[in-house]
Structure 1
Protein backbone atom coordinates (compact mmCIF):
# COMPACT_ATOMS: atom_id res chain seq x y z
CA UNK A 1 0.00 0.00 0.00
CA UNK A 2 1.29 3.47 -0.93
CA UNK A 3 1.18 6.28 1.64
CA UNK A 4 2.48 9.04 -0.63
CA UNK A 5 1.69 9.64 -4.28
CA UNK A 6 4.34 9.80 -6.95
CA UNK A 7 3.67 8.40 -10.38
CA UNK A 8 5.43 6.73 -13.29
CA UNK A 9 3.74 7.61 -16.57
CA UNK A 10 4.91 5.85 -19.71
CA UNK A 11 3.95 5.42 -23.32
CA UNK A 12 5.08 2.93 -25.93
CA UNK A 13 4.49 1.89 -29.51
CA UNK A 14 5.45 -1.40 -31.12
CA UNK A 15 5.57 -1.95 -34.91
CA UNK A 16 2.08 -2.92 -36.06
CA UNK A 17 3.53 -5.63 -38.29
CA UNK A 18 4.71 -7.68 -35.29
CA UNK A 19 1.47 -8.85 -33.66
CA UNK A 20 3.21 -11.34 -31.37
CA UNK A 21 5.53 -8.67 -30.02
CA UNK A 22 2.63 -6.30 -29.42
CA UNK A 23 0.82 -8.98 -27.44
CA UNK A 24 3.95 -9.83 -25.44
CA UNK A 25 4.50 -6.19 -24.45
CA UNK A 26 0.83 -5.75 -23.59
CA UNK A 27 1.01 -8.77 -21.29
CA UNK A 28 4.12 -7.35 -19.63
CA UNK A 29 2.37 -4.04 -19.03
CA UNK A 30 -0.65 -5.83 -17.55
CA UNK A 31 1.51 -8.10 -15.40
CA UNK A 32 3.24 -5.21 -13.62
CA UNK A 33 -0.15 -3.71 -12.78
CA UNK A 34 -0.17 -0.60 -14.97
CA UNK A 35 -3.50 0.98 -15.89
CA UNK A 36 -4.40 3.20 -18.82
CA UNK A 37 -4.57 6.83 -17.75
CA UNK A 38 -5.46 8.22 -21.16
CA UNK A 39 -5.23 6.81 -24.67
CA UNK A 40 -1.63 5.77 -25.16
CA UNK A 41 -0.59 6.62 -21.60
CA UNK A 42 0.00 4.02 -18.88
CA UNK A 43 0.50 4.84 -15.22
CA UNK A 44 1.98 3.15 -12.15
CA UNK A 45 2.61 4.36 -8.61
CA UNK A 46 6.29 5.11 -8.12
CA UNK A 47 8.26 2.34 -6.46
CA UNK A 48 11.87 1.38 -7.10
CA UNK A 49 11.06 -2.13 -8.32
CA UNK A 50 8.29 -0.84 -10.60
CA UNK A 51 10.62 1.81 -12.00
CA UNK A 52 13.12 -0.93 -12.78
CA UNK A 53 10.48 -3.02 -14.55
CA UNK A 54 9.43 -0.03 -16.66
CA UNK A 55 13.08 0.56 -17.59
CA UNK A 56 13.40 -3.05 -18.77
CA UNK A 57 10.12 -2.69 -20.66
CA UNK A 58 11.43 0.39 -22.48
CA UNK A 59 14.60 -1.47 -23.48
CA UNK A 60 12.55 -4.38 -24.79
CA UNK A 61 10.31 -2.07 -26.83
CA UNK A 62 13.34 -0.30 -28.30
CA UNK A 63 14.94 -3.64 -29.20
CA UNK A 64 11.77 -4.52 -31.11
CA UNK A 65 12.12 -1.36 -33.19
CA UNK A 66 9.44 0.50 -31.27
CA UNK A 67 9.52 3.63 -29.15
CA UNK A 68 8.92 4.14 -25.45
CA UNK A 69 9.33 6.90 -22.91
CA UNK A 70 8.65 7.23 -19.17
CA UNK A 71 8.51 10.13 -16.74
CA UNK A 72 8.11 10.44 -12.99
CA UNK A 73 5.80 13.10 -11.58
CA UNK A 74 4.14 14.12 -8.34
CA UNK A 75 0.90 15.37 -9.84
CA UNK A 76 -1.23 14.77 -12.92
CA UNK A 77 -3.20 17.77 -14.12
CA UNK A 78 -6.98 17.39 -14.48
CA UNK A 79 -6.96 14.06 -12.62
CA UNK A 80 -6.87 13.75 -8.83
CA UNK A 81 -4.76 11.19 -7.03
CA UNK A 82 -7.97 9.66 -5.68
CA UNK A 83 -9.30 9.20 -9.22
CA UNK A 84 -6.05 7.52 -10.23
CA UNK A 85 -6.20 5.20 -7.23
CA UNK A 86 -9.76 4.28 -8.20
CA UNK A 87 -8.50 3.27 -11.66
CA UNK A 88 -6.19 0.74 -10.03
CA UNK A 89 -8.96 -0.53 -7.76
CA UNK A 90 -11.33 -0.87 -10.72
CA UNK A 91 -8.74 -3.08 -12.41
CA UNK A 92 -8.05 -5.53 -9.57
CA UNK A 93 -11.28 -5.60 -7.54
CA UNK A 94 -13.27 -7.49 -10.23
CA UNK A 95 -10.51 -10.11 -10.21
CA UNK A 96 -10.91 -10.54 -6.46
CA UNK A 97 -14.69 -10.81 -6.90
CA UNK A 98 -14.23 -13.49 -9.56
CA UNK A 99 -12.00 -15.49 -7.21
CA UNK A 100 -14.63 -15.24 -4.46
CA UNK A 101 -17.35 -16.46 -6.80
CA UNK A 102 -15.26 -19.39 -8.01
CA UNK A 103 -14.41 -20.29 -4.42
CA UNK A 104 -18.07 -20.27 -3.39
CA UNK A 105 -18.93 -22.45 -6.37
CA UNK A 106 -16.74 -25.14 -4.81
CA UNK A 107 -19.26 -25.45 -1.97
CA UNK A 108 -21.67 -27.32 -4.28
CA UNK A 109 -18.92 -29.82 -5.10
CA UNK A 110 -18.08 -30.13 -1.41
CA UNK A 111 -21.63 -31.20 -0.64
CA UNK A 112 -21.47 -33.90 -3.32
CA UNK A 113 -17.96 -35.23 -2.72
CA UNK A 114 -17.86 -39.00 -2.65
CA UNK A 115 -14.29 -40.02 -1.84
CA UNK A 116 -10.79 -38.93 -0.90
CA UNK A 117 -9.98 -38.20 -4.54
CA UNK A 118 -12.77 -35.62 -4.59
CA UNK A 119 -11.27 -34.03 -1.49
CA UNK A 120 -7.85 -33.76 -3.10
CA UNK A 121 -9.33 -32.19 -6.21
CA UNK A 122 -11.16 -29.61 -4.11
CA UNK A 123 -8.04 -28.77 -2.12
CA UNK A 124 -6.08 -28.41 -5.37
CA UNK A 125 -8.73 -26.09 -6.83
CA UNK A 126 -8.75 -24.01 -3.67
CA UNK A 127 -4.96 -23.78 -3.69
CA UNK A 128 -5.01 -22.51 -7.28
CA UNK A 129 -7.49 -19.81 -6.27
CA UNK A 130 -5.28 -18.82 -3.35
CA UNK A 131 -2.27 -18.49 -5.68
CA UNK A 132 -4.34 -16.35 -8.05
CA UNK A 133 -5.37 -14.18 -5.13
CA UNK A 134 -1.74 -13.68 -4.07
CA UNK A 135 -0.78 -12.80 -7.65
CA UNK A 136 -3.52 -10.16 -7.83
CA UNK A 137 -2.47 -8.78 -4.44
CA UNK A 138 0.94 -7.97 -5.92
CA UNK A 139 -0.87 -5.52 -8.22
CA UNK A 140 -3.24 -4.27 -5.52
CA UNK A 141 -1.37 -1.02 -4.95
CA UNK A 142 -4.30 0.80 -3.29
CA UNK A 143 -6.33 -1.84 -1.40
CA UNK A 144 -10.06 -1.28 -1.18
CA UNK A 145 -10.60 -4.21 1.19
CA UNK A 146 -11.45 -6.68 -1.58
CA UNK A 147 -8.23 -8.63 -1.04
CA UNK A 148 -8.87 -9.15 2.67
CA UNK A 149 -12.43 -10.24 2.01
CA UNK A 150 -11.25 -12.69 -0.65
CA UNK A 151 -8.70 -14.24 1.70
CA UNK A 152 -11.40 -14.52 4.35
CA UNK A 153 -13.67 -16.37 1.90
CA UNK A 154 -10.84 -18.73 0.94
CA UNK A 155 -9.99 -19.39 4.59
CA UNK A 156 -13.62 -20.10 5.41
CA UNK A 157 -14.10 -22.53 2.54
CA UNK A 158 -10.80 -24.25 3.30
CA UNK A 159 -12.01 -24.83 6.85
CA UNK A 160 -15.39 -26.11 5.64
CA UNK A 161 -13.54 -28.57 3.43
CA UNK A 162 -11.48 -29.89 6.33
CA UNK A 163 -14.40 -30.02 8.75
CA UNK A 164 -17.89 -30.62 7.28
CA UNK A 165 -20.57 -28.19 8.41
CA UNK A 166 -22.42 -29.02 11.58
CA UNK A 167 -26.09 -29.82 11.49
CA UNK A 168 -28.34 -27.71 13.66
CA UNK A 169 -28.25 -28.98 17.24
CA UNK A 170 -30.63 -28.07 20.07
CA UNK A 171 -29.95 -24.85 21.99
CA UNK A 172 -27.54 -25.43 24.88
CA UNK A 173 -29.11 -22.93 27.35
CA UNK A 174 -25.74 -21.63 28.56
CA UNK A 175 -25.11 -19.20 31.43
CA UNK A 176 -22.80 -16.25 30.56
CA UNK A 177 -21.46 -16.36 34.13
CA UNK A 178 -19.73 -19.63 33.25
CA UNK A 179 -17.81 -17.95 30.44
CA UNK A 180 -16.04 -15.08 32.18
CA UNK A 181 -12.49 -14.07 31.27
CA UNK A 182 -12.07 -16.61 28.49
CA UNK A 183 -9.85 -16.46 25.41
CA UNK A 184 -12.11 -16.53 22.37
CA UNK A 185 -10.40 -17.73 19.21
CA UNK A 186 -11.36 -17.25 15.58
CA UNK A 187 -9.78 -17.00 12.16
CA UNK A 188 -7.74 -13.98 11.09
CA UNK A 189 -9.14 -11.32 8.75
CA UNK A 190 -12.58 -11.20 10.43
CA UNK A 191 -15.57 -10.05 8.43
CA UNK A 192 -19.20 -9.45 9.29
CA UNK A 193 -20.16 -12.63 11.21
CA UNK A 194 -16.91 -12.85 13.18
CA UNK A 195 -16.86 -9.11 13.92
CA UNK A 196 -20.50 -9.12 14.98
CA UNK A 197 -20.07 -12.28 17.05
CA UNK A 198 -16.99 -10.88 18.82
CA UNK A 199 -18.94 -7.74 19.71
CA UNK A 200 -21.85 -9.87 20.95
CA UNK A 201 -19.50 -11.93 23.13
CA UNK A 202 -17.78 -8.90 24.65
CA UNK A 203 -20.99 -6.97 25.32
CA UNK A 204 -23.43 -9.67 26.46
CA UNK A 205 -21.57 -12.88 27.29
CA UNK A 206 -18.01 -12.29 28.53
CA UNK A 207 -17.22 -8.69 29.52
CA UNK A 208 -13.58 -9.66 30.15
CA UNK A 209 -13.18 -11.61 26.92
CA UNK A 210 -9.85 -11.65 25.13
CA UNK A 211 -9.63 -12.41 21.43
CA UNK A 212 -7.04 -14.34 19.45
CA UNK A 213 -6.94 -14.46 15.65
CA UNK A 214 -5.43 -17.54 14.03
CA UNK A 215 -3.74 -17.62 10.64
CA UNK A 216 -4.58 -20.18 7.96
CA UNK A 217 -3.77 -23.70 9.16
CA UNK A 218 -3.52 -22.77 12.85
CA UNK A 219 -5.91 -24.40 15.29
CA UNK A 220 -7.05 -23.33 18.77
CA UNK A 221 -5.32 -24.87 21.78
CA UNK A 222 -8.30 -26.28 23.64
CA UNK A 223 -6.06 -27.34 26.54
CA UNK A 224 -5.32 -23.68 27.25
CA UNK A 225 -8.95 -22.77 27.78
CA UNK A 226 -9.31 -21.28 24.30
CA UNK A 227 -12.88 -21.10 23.01
CA UNK A 228 -13.25 -21.18 19.22
CA UNK A 229 -16.07 -19.31 17.50
CA UNK A 230 -16.98 -19.09 13.82
CA UNK A 231 -14.55 -21.95 13.25
CA UNK A 232 -15.29 -25.50 12.18
CA UNK A 233 -14.15 -26.84 15.56
CA UNK A 234 -16.34 -26.08 18.57
CA UNK A 235 -20.04 -25.44 18.94
CA UNK A 236 -20.19 -21.67 18.41
CA UNK A 237 -20.21 -21.72 14.64
CA UNK A 238 -22.58 -22.07 11.69
CA UNK A 239 -25.16 -24.77 12.35
CA UNK A 240 -27.50 -25.70 9.54
CA UNK A 241 -29.11 -22.45 8.41
CA UNK A 242 -27.91 -20.49 11.44
CA UNK A 243 -24.88 -18.19 11.26
CA UNK A 244 -22.55 -17.91 14.27
CA UNK A 245 -24.17 -14.68 15.50
CA UNK A 246 -27.55 -16.44 15.63
CA UNK A 247 -26.13 -19.53 17.36
CA UNK A 248 -24.66 -17.36 20.15
CA UNK A 249 -27.96 -15.53 20.64
CA UNK A 250 -29.82 -18.83 20.81
CA UNK A 251 -27.42 -20.71 23.09
CA UNK A 252 -27.08 -17.86 25.61
CA UNK A 253 -30.82 -17.03 25.50
CA UNK A 254 -30.22 -13.40 24.57
CA UNK A 255 -33.79 -12.27 24.08
CA UNK A 256 -33.52 -8.68 22.88
CA UNK A 257 -35.44 -7.08 19.97
CA UNK A 258 -32.52 -4.73 19.22
CA UNK A 259 -30.18 -7.72 18.93
CA UNK A 260 -32.68 -9.40 16.63
CA UNK A 261 -32.53 -6.37 14.32
CA UNK A 262 -28.74 -6.50 14.21
CA UNK A 263 -28.86 -10.26 13.68
CA UNK A 264 -31.00 -9.77 10.58
CA UNK A 265 -28.45 -7.37 9.09
CA UNK A 266 -25.48 -9.60 9.87
CA UNK A 267 -27.25 -12.59 8.35
CA UNK A 268 -28.15 -10.75 5.13
CA UNK A 269 -24.52 -9.77 4.58
CA UNK A 270 -22.99 -13.07 5.69
CA UNK A 271 -25.09 -15.30 3.44
CA UNK A 272 -24.43 -13.01 0.48
CA UNK A 273 -27.99 -12.12 -0.42
CA UNK A 274 -28.07 -10.84 -3.99
CA UNK A 275 -30.13 -7.77 -3.13
CA UNK A 276 -29.44 -6.35 0.32
CA UNK A 277 -31.99 -4.22 2.16
CA UNK A 278 -30.85 -0.59 2.35
CA UNK A 279 -29.78 -0.78 6.01
CA UNK A 280 -27.81 -4.00 5.41
CA UNK A 281 -26.17 -2.49 2.32
CA UNK A 282 -25.13 0.55 4.36
CA UNK A 283 -23.69 -1.62 7.14
CA UNK A 284 -21.78 -3.67 4.55
CA UNK A 285 -20.33 -0.50 3.02
CA UNK A 286 -19.12 0.69 6.42
CA UNK A 287 -17.62 -2.71 7.30
CA UNK A 288 -15.89 -2.84 3.91
CA UNK A 289 -14.51 0.63 4.62
CA UNK A 290 -13.12 -0.47 7.98
CA UNK A 291 -11.50 -3.51 6.38
CA UNK A 292 -10.04 -1.33 3.62
CA UNK A 293 -8.12 0.81 6.13
CA UNK A 294 -5.71 -2.10 6.54
CA UNK A 295 -5.65 -2.09 10.35
CA UNK A 296 -4.64 -5.21 12.24
CA UNK A 297 -7.41 -7.54 13.38
CA UNK A 298 -7.53 -6.24 16.96
CA UNK A 299 -7.79 -2.62 15.81
CA UNK A 300 -10.43 -3.59 13.26
CA UNK A 301 -12.42 -5.30 16.02
CA UNK A 302 -12.15 -2.21 18.21
CA UNK A 303 -13.59 -0.03 15.44
CA UNK A 304 -16.31 -2.57 14.64
CA UNK A 305 -17.31 -2.69 18.32
CA UNK A 306 -17.96 1.06 18.24
CA UNK A 307 -20.06 0.58 15.13
CA UNK A 308 -22.16 -2.22 16.63
CA UNK A 309 -22.53 -0.27 19.89
CA UNK A 310 -23.97 2.62 17.90
CA UNK A 311 -26.28 0.32 15.94
CA UNK A 312 -27.53 -1.29 19.13
CA UNK A 313 -28.15 2.08 20.80
CA UNK A 314 -29.99 3.32 17.73
CA UNK A 315 -32.25 0.28 17.55
CA UNK A 316 -32.94 0.48 21.29
CA UNK A 317 -34.01 4.11 20.95
CA UNK A 318 -36.23 3.31 17.97
CA UNK A 319 -37.88 0.34 19.68
CA UNK A 320 -38.53 2.30 22.86
CA UNK A 321 -40.31 4.94 20.84
Structure 2
Protein backbone atom coordinates (compact mmCIF):
# COMPACT_ATOMS: atom_id res chain seq x y z
CA UNK A 1 0.00 0.00 0.00
CA UNK A 2 2.79 2.43 0.88
CA UNK A 3 4.44 1.66 -2.41
CA UNK A 4 1.22 2.55 -4.28
CA UNK A 5 0.95 5.91 -2.46
CA UNK A 6 4.58 6.70 -3.12
CA UNK A 7 3.96 6.17 -6.83
CA UNK A 8 0.58 8.04 -6.98
CA UNK A 9 1.63 11.25 -5.17
CA UNK A 10 4.34 12.27 -7.66
CA UNK A 11 1.99 11.43 -10.53
CA UNK A 12 -0.77 13.66 -9.09
CA UNK A 13 1.62 16.54 -8.44
CA UNK A 14 3.07 16.20 -11.94
CA UNK A 15 -0.42 16.31 -13.45
CA UNK A 16 -1.37 19.47 -11.54
CA UNK A 17 1.84 21.14 -12.60
CA UNK A 18 1.23 20.34 -16.28
CA UNK A 19 -2.37 21.67 -16.03
CA UNK A 20 -1.27 25.02 -14.65
CA UNK A 21 -1.04 24.05 -11.00
CA UNK A 22 -1.12 26.29 -8.02
CA UNK A 23 1.39 27.71 -5.62
CA UNK A 24 0.35 28.71 -2.13
CA UNK A 25 2.13 31.81 -0.83
CA UNK A 26 1.65 33.05 2.70
CA UNK A 27 1.24 36.86 2.82
CA UNK A 28 1.98 39.04 5.80
CA UNK A 29 -1.29 40.70 6.76
CA UNK A 30 0.14 42.82 9.53
CA UNK A 31 -2.15 41.01 11.96
CA UNK A 32 -0.69 38.11 13.90
CA UNK A 33 -4.13 36.62 14.51
CA UNK A 34 -4.83 36.13 10.80
CA UNK A 35 -2.94 34.86 7.79
CA UNK A 36 -3.51 35.34 4.05
CA UNK A 37 -2.70 32.69 1.47
CA UNK A 38 -2.57 33.73 -2.16
CA UNK A 39 -3.38 31.12 -4.82
CA UNK A 40 -1.99 32.20 -8.18
CA UNK A 41 -2.70 30.75 -11.60
CA UNK A 42 0.81 29.99 -12.87
CA UNK A 43 -0.21 29.45 -16.51
CA UNK A 44 0.81 31.74 -19.39
CA UNK A 45 -2.67 33.28 -19.50
CA UNK A 46 -2.79 34.01 -15.78
CA UNK A 47 -4.98 37.06 -14.95
CA UNK A 48 -6.67 36.38 -11.63
CA UNK A 49 -5.52 36.03 -8.06
CA UNK A 50 -7.48 34.39 -5.27
CA UNK A 51 -6.67 35.48 -1.73
CA UNK A 52 -7.80 33.33 1.19
CA UNK A 53 -7.65 34.91 4.63
CA UNK A 54 -7.84 32.83 7.77
CA UNK A 55 -9.62 35.00 10.30
CA UNK A 56 -10.82 32.53 12.86
CA UNK A 57 -9.76 28.91 13.03
CA UNK A 58 -12.07 26.99 10.77
CA UNK A 59 -13.35 30.13 8.94
CA UNK A 60 -12.10 31.72 5.71
CA UNK A 61 -13.24 34.55 3.44
CA UNK A 62 -12.50 35.08 -0.24
CA UNK A 63 -11.47 38.38 -1.79
CA UNK A 64 -11.02 37.98 -5.56
CA UNK A 65 -9.29 40.87 -7.30
CA UNK A 66 -9.19 41.41 -11.05
CA UNK A 67 -6.86 43.36 -13.25
CA UNK A 68 -8.72 46.42 -14.71
CA UNK A 69 -9.70 46.22 -18.36
CA UNK A 70 -6.96 47.82 -20.48
CA UNK A 71 -7.76 51.45 -21.31
CA UNK A 72 -10.33 51.85 -18.53
CA UNK A 73 -9.95 54.47 -15.80
CA UNK A 74 -11.90 55.20 -12.63
CA UNK A 75 -14.51 57.96 -12.90
CA UNK A 76 -13.71 60.86 -10.57
CA UNK A 77 -16.58 62.65 -8.79
CA UNK A 78 -16.15 66.41 -9.35
CA UNK A 79 -15.81 68.49 -6.22
CA UNK A 80 -18.73 70.85 -5.51
CA UNK A 81 -18.11 74.43 -6.55
CA UNK A 82 -18.72 77.19 -4.00
CA UNK A 83 -18.35 80.94 -4.00
CA UNK A 84 -15.91 82.13 -1.38
CA UNK A 85 -16.69 85.38 0.39
CA UNK A 86 -13.66 85.23 2.67
CA UNK A 87 -12.14 88.67 3.08
CA UNK A 88 -14.46 90.32 0.57
CA UNK A 89 -15.44 93.91 1.39
CA UNK A 90 -18.78 95.18 0.11
CA UNK A 91 -20.20 98.65 -0.53
CA UNK A 92 -24.01 98.65 -0.71
CA UNK A 93 -25.96 101.76 -1.69
CA UNK A 94 -29.77 101.84 -1.58
CA UNK A 95 -31.89 103.86 -4.01
CA UNK A 96 -35.44 103.80 -2.63
CA UNK A 97 -38.76 104.94 -4.06
CA UNK A 98 -40.67 106.94 -1.42
CA UNK A 99 -43.45 108.22 -3.69
CA UNK A 100 -47.03 108.45 -2.46
CA UNK A 101 -48.03 104.95 -3.61
CA UNK A 102 -45.64 103.50 -1.03
CA UNK A 103 -48.35 104.38 1.51
CA UNK A 104 -50.63 101.75 -0.06
CA UNK A 105 -50.98 98.12 0.95
CA UNK A 106 -51.51 96.21 4.19
CA UNK A 107 -49.12 96.62 5.85
CA UNK A 108 -48.19 99.85 4.12
CA UNK A 109 -45.35 99.30 1.70
CA UNK A 110 -43.25 102.04 3.25
CA UNK A 111 -43.55 100.37 6.67
CA UNK A 112 -42.69 96.95 5.23
CA UNK A 113 -39.64 98.54 3.58
CA UNK A 114 -38.50 100.02 6.90
CA UNK A 115 -38.86 96.65 8.63
CA UNK A 116 -36.96 94.80 5.90
CA UNK A 117 -34.19 97.42 5.85
CA UNK A 118 -33.71 97.15 9.62
CA UNK A 119 -33.64 93.35 9.40
CA UNK A 120 -31.20 93.53 6.48
CA UNK A 121 -28.81 95.49 8.68
CA UNK A 122 -28.13 92.35 10.73
CA UNK A 123 -26.00 91.19 7.78
CA UNK A 124 -23.83 94.31 7.70
CA UNK A 125 -20.30 94.38 9.09
CA UNK A 126 -18.44 97.37 10.44
CA UNK A 127 -16.08 97.18 7.45
CA UNK A 128 -18.92 97.42 4.90
CA UNK A 129 -19.87 100.71 3.25
CA UNK A 130 -23.58 101.58 3.41
CA UNK A 131 -25.54 104.51 1.94
CA UNK A 132 -29.16 105.49 1.20
CA UNK A 133 -30.69 107.77 -1.43
CA UNK A 134 -34.42 108.30 -1.87
CA UNK A 135 -36.56 109.83 -4.62
CA UNK A 136 -40.10 111.11 -5.01
CA UNK A 137 -41.32 114.36 -6.63
CA UNK A 138 -40.25 117.83 -7.74
CA UNK A 139 -40.74 121.02 -5.75
CA UNK A 140 -39.16 124.45 -5.98
CA UNK A 141 -36.36 125.30 -3.54
CA UNK A 142 -36.73 121.97 -1.75
CA UNK A 143 -33.98 120.42 0.36
CA UNK A 144 -33.24 116.91 1.64
CA UNK A 145 -34.86 117.66 4.98
CA UNK A 146 -38.20 117.96 3.19
CA UNK A 147 -38.23 114.22 2.61
CA UNK A 148 -36.50 113.18 5.79
CA UNK A 149 -38.71 115.11 8.16
CA UNK A 150 -41.99 115.10 6.25
CA UNK A 151 -42.28 118.75 5.28
CA UNK A 152 -44.96 119.74 2.76
CA UNK A 153 -42.52 120.51 -0.07
CA UNK A 154 -40.57 117.49 -1.22
CA UNK A 155 -37.51 117.32 -3.41
CA UNK A 156 -36.97 114.90 -6.28
CA UNK A 157 -34.11 112.97 -4.71
CA UNK A 158 -32.00 113.10 -1.60
CA UNK A 159 -28.84 111.52 -0.20
CA UNK A 160 -30.11 110.95 3.33
CA UNK A 161 -27.21 108.67 4.31
CA UNK A 162 -23.93 109.40 2.50
CA UNK A 163 -21.96 106.22 1.77
CA UNK A 164 -19.60 105.45 4.61
CA UNK A 165 -18.59 102.63 6.94
CA UNK A 166 -21.64 101.09 8.56
CA UNK A 167 -22.97 102.94 11.62
CA UNK A 168 -25.89 100.97 13.09
CA UNK A 169 -27.34 103.89 15.10
CA UNK A 170 -27.27 106.36 12.21
CA UNK A 171 -28.56 103.78 9.73
CA UNK A 172 -31.56 102.87 11.91
CA UNK A 173 -32.35 106.53 12.53
CA UNK A 174 -32.47 107.34 8.81
CA UNK A 175 -34.48 104.25 7.89
CA UNK A 176 -37.10 104.78 10.58
CA UNK A 177 -37.69 108.37 9.41
CA UNK A 178 -38.62 107.33 5.87
CA UNK A 179 -42.06 108.44 4.75
CA UNK A 180 -43.92 108.38 1.43
CA UNK A 181 -45.24 111.29 -0.62
CA UNK A 182 -45.24 112.68 -4.15
CA UNK A 183 -44.52 111.32 -7.61
CA UNK A 184 -41.87 108.99 -9.04
CA UNK A 185 -38.86 110.96 -10.26
CA UNK A 186 -36.78 107.87 -10.92
CA UNK A 187 -34.07 109.35 -13.16
CA UNK A 188 -33.36 112.05 -10.57
CA UNK A 189 -32.82 109.25 -8.09
CA UNK A 190 -30.19 107.59 -10.28
CA UNK A 191 -28.41 110.92 -10.71
CA UNK A 192 -28.28 111.28 -6.93
CA UNK A 193 -27.01 107.71 -6.49
CA UNK A 194 -24.29 108.21 -9.11
CA UNK A 195 -23.07 111.36 -7.39
CA UNK A 196 -23.04 109.62 -4.00
CA UNK A 197 -21.05 106.66 -5.34
CA UNK A 198 -18.57 108.89 -7.16
CA UNK A 199 -17.92 110.80 -3.93
CA UNK A 200 -17.52 107.60 -1.90
CA UNK A 201 -15.13 106.08 -4.43
CA UNK A 202 -12.82 109.03 -3.99
CA UNK A 203 -12.70 108.28 -0.27
CA UNK A 204 -12.55 104.48 -0.72
CA UNK A 205 -10.82 104.03 -4.10
CA UNK A 206 -10.15 100.29 -3.98
CA UNK A 207 -10.86 97.00 -2.26
CA UNK A 208 -14.68 97.08 -2.39
CA UNK A 209 -17.32 95.36 -4.49
CA UNK A 210 -19.95 98.01 -5.30
CA UNK A 211 -23.68 97.23 -5.35
CA UNK A 212 -26.67 99.53 -5.89
CA UNK A 213 -29.98 98.10 -4.64
CA UNK A 214 -32.79 99.92 -6.46
CA UNK A 215 -36.38 99.49 -5.20
CA UNK A 216 -39.60 100.88 -6.63
CA UNK A 217 -43.31 100.06 -6.57
CA UNK A 218 -44.19 102.01 -9.69
CA UNK A 219 -43.19 103.50 -12.98
CA UNK A 220 -41.38 106.79 -13.63
CA UNK A 221 -43.16 109.96 -14.58
CA UNK A 222 -43.28 110.21 -18.37
CA UNK A 223 -44.89 112.74 -20.74
CA UNK A 224 -48.39 112.46 -22.14
CA UNK A 225 -47.24 110.79 -25.36
CA UNK A 226 -45.66 108.04 -23.27
CA UNK A 227 -47.27 105.78 -20.71
CA UNK A 228 -48.40 108.12 -17.95
CA UNK A 229 -49.86 111.57 -18.57
CA UNK A 230 -47.88 114.29 -16.76
CA UNK A 231 -47.30 117.95 -17.46
CA UNK A 232 -44.15 120.03 -17.13
CA UNK A 233 -40.61 119.95 -18.50
CA UNK A 234 -39.35 117.61 -15.76
CA UNK A 235 -41.83 114.84 -16.47
CA UNK A 236 -39.47 112.57 -18.43
CA UNK A 237 -38.04 110.29 -15.72
CA UNK A 238 -37.53 106.95 -17.44
CA UNK A 239 -33.85 106.16 -16.68
CA UNK A 240 -33.53 104.26 -19.94
CA UNK A 241 -33.76 107.58 -21.78
CA UNK A 242 -30.50 108.73 -20.20
CA UNK A 243 -26.93 107.51 -19.81
CA UNK A 244 -26.75 107.57 -16.00
CA UNK A 245 -27.53 103.88 -15.47
CA UNK A 246 -24.95 102.73 -18.02
CA UNK A 247 -22.37 105.06 -16.49
CA UNK A 248 -22.99 103.45 -13.11
CA UNK A 249 -22.54 99.98 -14.56
CA UNK A 250 -19.70 100.54 -16.99
CA UNK A 251 -17.72 103.55 -15.77
CA UNK A 252 -18.10 103.07 -12.02
CA UNK A 253 -18.28 99.25 -12.12
CA UNK A 254 -21.43 99.13 -9.98
CA UNK A 255 -23.68 96.09 -9.94
CA UNK A 256 -27.33 97.24 -10.02
CA UNK A 257 -29.93 94.99 -8.41
CA UNK A 258 -33.57 95.91 -9.07
CA UNK A 259 -36.52 95.09 -6.80
CA UNK A 260 -40.11 95.52 -7.98
CA UNK A 261 -42.50 95.84 -5.04
CA UNK A 262 -46.18 94.94 -5.56
CA UNK A 263 -46.08 95.78 -9.26
CA UNK A 264 -49.35 93.99 -10.00
CA UNK A 265 -51.21 96.71 -8.10
CA UNK A 266 -50.24 99.18 -10.84
CA UNK A 267 -53.12 97.83 -12.93
CA UNK A 268 -55.57 99.04 -10.26
CA UNK A 269 -54.19 102.53 -9.58
CA UNK A 270 -56.32 105.36 -10.99
CA UNK A 271 -53.59 107.27 -12.82
CA UNK A 272 -54.28 108.82 -16.18
CA UNK A 273 -52.54 106.09 -18.15
CA UNK A 274 -52.37 106.48 -21.91
CA UNK A 275 -52.19 102.70 -22.36
CA UNK A 276 -54.44 99.92 -21.02
CA UNK A 277 -53.89 99.41 -17.31
CA UNK A 278 -53.39 95.69 -17.83
CA UNK A 279 -50.13 96.50 -19.66
CA UNK A 280 -48.64 98.59 -16.86
CA UNK A 281 -47.22 95.80 -14.60
CA UNK A 282 -45.40 94.19 -17.56
CA UNK A 283 -44.02 97.60 -18.57
CA UNK A 284 -42.67 98.11 -15.04
CA UNK A 285 -41.09 94.66 -14.95
CA UNK A 286 -39.34 95.24 -18.27
CA UNK A 287 -38.01 98.58 -17.03
CA UNK A 288 -36.55 96.98 -13.90
CA UNK A 289 -34.95 94.20 -15.93
CA UNK A 290 -33.42 96.75 -18.30
CA UNK A 291 -31.99 98.78 -15.42
CA UNK A 292 -30.54 95.76 -13.58
CA UNK A 293 -27.06 94.51 -14.38
CA UNK A 294 -26.73 91.45 -16.59
CA UNK A 295 -25.58 88.25 -14.84
CA UNK A 296 -21.83 87.71 -15.27
CA UNK A 297 -20.74 85.08 -17.79
CA UNK A 298 -18.85 83.32 -15.00
CA UNK A 299 -22.11 82.84 -13.08
CA UNK A 300 -25.11 83.10 -15.44
CA UNK A 301 -27.56 82.00 -12.74
CA UNK A 302 -26.76 85.02 -10.58
CA UNK A 303 -29.91 87.08 -10.10
CA UNK A 304 -30.06 90.88 -10.32
CA UNK A 305 -33.82 91.34 -10.68
CA UNK A 306 -36.34 90.45 -7.99
CA UNK A 307 -40.10 90.72 -7.59
CA UNK A 308 -41.67 91.12 -4.17
CA UNK A 309 -45.42 90.62 -4.51
CA UNK A 310 -46.13 92.00 -1.04
CA UNK A 311 -44.25 94.03 1.52
CA UNK A 312 -43.95 90.93 3.67
CA UNK A 313 -41.87 89.24 0.94
CA UNK A 314 -39.13 91.85 1.18
CA UNK A 315 -37.29 90.09 4.00
CA UNK A 316 -36.80 87.02 1.83
CA UNK A 317 -35.64 89.12 -1.13
CA UNK A 318 -33.09 90.95 1.00
CA UNK A 319 -31.81 87.63 2.35
CA UNK A 320 -31.22 86.38 -1.19
CA UNK A 321 -29.39 89.57 -2.08
CA UNK A 322 -27.24 89.39 1.05
CA UNK A 323 -26.16 85.85 0.16
CA UNK A 324 -25.31 86.84 -3.41
CA UNK A 325 -23.23 89.90 -2.54
CA UNK A 326 -21.36 88.28 0.38
CA UNK A 327 -23.02 90.08 3.27
Flag whether TM exceeds 0.5 (same fold).
no
Output the TM-score relative to the length of structure 2: 0.23
Larger Rg: 2
Q: Normalized against structure 1, the TM-score is what?
A: 0.23
More helix by share: 1
Richer in strand (by share): 2
